[in-house]
Structure 1
Amino acid sequence: MTDILSLALMLCGIFLLAGTVKGLLGLGLPTVAMGLLGLAMPPVQAAALLLVPSLVTNVWQLLAGPGLAALIRRLWPMMLAIVLGTLAGSGVIAGTVAFAAGTGLGAALVLYGLVGLLKPQLRVPPRIEPWAGPLVGAVTGLVTGATGVFVIPAVPYLGSLGLDRDDLVQALGLSFTASTLALAAGLALHGALPLAASAISLLAVLPALVGMWLGGWLRLRLRPESFRRGFFIGLLILGGELIWRGLA
């Protein structure tokens, strides 16, 4: 009983924090949740626990704007590649190469932290989108399948397309939704998605939504850039710790 209560409290705290980050920045829930849960359990268990709150919050973000149909027409090759890449790579996080999953999770967090801090000014010309989108999607899918982290290189790529703020937020929601569904399918194919984990994952939905509301409230009162810098520095530290644990 005590173990169940401790797990519930840990999930509530982690997803409240992760939801707050998403409410402030428009992204970060699965990244923060995977990183913190990865300190306490194998990445495959962490991935199973984040699927439901990640899906709920990303669908909410996906449906928040009016341009969904146009984005799907533009980005569907990338989304298809994300799904195929995730299915191809999901054997890593599902346990066939467990050592690589933990270390890869740390490496993905460090890389994302560096990209966030350096903020490279990238621009993708429209003429190369037909092949660049699927390539980025496939790499993102492989990283997702191996680590449970959805953001590299999809987030920098989508940010380089010149989308306005609302379309970018919705495009991120589309990418994260595709990644979440593909990861769930990949874990299920490898027998690594127990019903018990999905049920426990439901406990995290409410704190994640409360966190998103809190993050939106804080966004009106804080300097997002200062918070953003602290967030990415935190990811560097967290990723370094996971790499250290994996190599120790």
Structure 2
Amino acid sequence: MNNSLAFYQELGMALSLLVLGTFVLAGMVKGMIGLGLPTIAMGLLGLAMAPTQAAALLIIPATLTNLWQLAFGGHLPSLLKRLWPMLLAIVLGTLGGCLWLSIDGGHWVVRGLGAALLLYALSGLLLPTLRLAPAHEAWLAPLCGLITGVITSVTGVFVIPAVPYLQALGLNKDQLVQALGLSFSVSTLALAAGLLWRGALGGAELGASLLALAPALLGMWLGQWLRQRISAVLFRRVFFIGLGLLGAHLLISG
């Protein structure tokens, strides 16, 4: 606990408040639409701190909220049977990327994060929901997993192209929510292993990440409350527009 408090003391009051506010907002988005916590967290924290610090802070909130999302639905055995090639490729891509590329690669990593956020926002705003023929899953699943893993290793964001791929499988609502939780859980744990191997995830970082869990859970509760009171379509549109502006800013400013 002392190490955790020292971590935030080293960040300073302003950055500590940014961290807490970011995880409330990121949790709120996840509570509303079932995804977005690491995306929002990396995007906003990337404005003010090193990507390795931001990635370390999201490990515990992302892992526990994703496992919670994964636990409900009753489709886990069938999803594991169908998605294991993509999940295995995510692990290999993330660990390989952490070994060869690294999330602490400098300004180009911040621009990479901005590009990933912008692409994700544009795909959500402009692209129709695609439908993938089952015959293509055998080769496309590991390819999407590998690309997702590499992007995760250098940006800390694991939505591209995993989320569009899962949305194209024709899963029902409950299956899709559980599939997203499964994909995000694997990505988060693989990223944590990569950061640990590189020495960027120690006791202080894990303790600081644990303290970020409370505002993330508060945000999820608020998001679930809001989901019952505003249009999900309107919220998704505002979410993607804001995410696109944030990604463009990171891409341009580096």
Q: Fold conserved (TM > 0.5)?
A: yes
- Alignment partner, residue 243 of structure 2: 235
SS at match of 2:212: helix
Is 1:11–1:203's contact at 8 Å kept on the other side of the alignment?
no
What is the letter of the counterpart of residue 62 of structure 1?
Answer: L
Deviations 1:6-62 (A, max 9, x none): 443222211110000001111100000000000010111110111110001000001
Find the aligned partners of 2:139 and 2:10 in 1 and give their Cα distance: 52
**Unmatched tracts of structure 1, length 5 or more:** none
Residues 1:185 and 2:214 aligned together: no
SS at match of 1:65: coil
**Unmatched tracts of structure 2, length 5 or more:** 1-8
What is the letter of the counterpart of residue 175 of structure 2?
Answer: D
- Alignment partner, residue 196 of structure 1: 204
Shift of residue 2 of structure 1? 8.6
Rate the CA distance shift 1:88–1:3 in 2: closer, same or farther, 3 A: closer
Deviations 1:64-90 (A, max 9, x none): 211111101110111000000011112
Rate the CA distance shift 1:7–1:195 in 2: closer, same or farther, 3 A: farther
- Alignment partner, residue 81 of structure 1: 89
- Alignment partner, residue 206 of structure 1: 214
Is 2:32–2:226's contact at 8 Å kept on the other side of the alignment?
yes
Residues 1:69 and 2:73 aligned together: no
Per mean C-alpha deviation after superposition, the further-off stretch among 72-81 and 193-202 is 193-202
Find the aligned partners of 2:234 and 2:109 in 1 and give their Cα distance: 31
Is 1:30–1:149's contact at 8 Å kept on the other side of the alignment?
yes
Is 2:30–2:223's contact at 8 Å kept on the other side of the alignment?
yes
Find the aligned partners of 1:185 and 1:12 in 2 and give their Cα distance: 24
- Alignment partner, residue 44 of structure 1: 52
- Give the TM-score normalised by structure 2: 0.93
Shift of residue 5 of structure 1? 4.1
Tell me which of 141, 152, 157 is aligned to 1:149.
157
Find the aligned partners of 2:185 and 2:122 in 1 and give their Cα distance: 24
Find the aligned partners of 1:8 and 1:138 in 2 and give their Cα distance: 34
What is the letter of the counterpart of residue 245 of structure 2?
Answer: I
Identity %: 59
- Give the TM-score normalised by structure 1: 0.95
- Alignment partner, residue 229 of structure 2: 221
SS at match of 1:150: coil
Shift of residue 3 of structure 1? 4.8
Rate the CA distance shift 1:119–1:7 in 2: closer, same or farther, 3 A: same
SS at match of 2:60: helix
Is 1:48–1:193's contact at 8 Å kept on the other side of the alignment?
yes
CA RMSD after TM alignment: 1.4
Deviations 1:107-166 (A, max 9, x none): 000000100101323111111111111111001001101110010000000000000000
Find the aligned partners of 1:100 and 1:89 in 2 and give their Cα distance: 15
Shift of residue 209 of structure 1? 1.0
SS at match of 1:85: helix
Residues 1:140 and 2:155 aligned together: no
Rate the CA distance shift 1:117–1:189 in 2: closer, same or farther, 3 A: same
Tell me which of 111, 114, 117 is aligned to 1:109.
117
Deviations 1:83-107 (A, max 9, x none): 0001111243442x22221110000
Per mean C-alpha deviation after superposition, the further-off stretch among 10-19 and 168-177 is 10-19
Find the aligned partners of 2:44 and 2:201 in 1 and give their Cα distance: 19
Rate the CA distance shift 1:93–1:44 in 2: closer, same or farther, 3 A: farther
SS at match of 1:87: helix
Is 1:43–1:93's contact at 8 Å kept on the other side of the alignment?
no
Residues 1:24 and 2:32 aligned together: yes
Tell me which of 130, 133, 137 is aligned to 1:122.
130
- Alignment partner, residue 245 of structure 1: 253
In the comparison of the two structures, how many residue pairs are matched?
A: 245
Is 1:102–1:242's contact at 8 Å kept on the other side of the alignment?
yes
Deviations 1:176-209 (A, max 9, x none): 0000000011111112213211111111111111
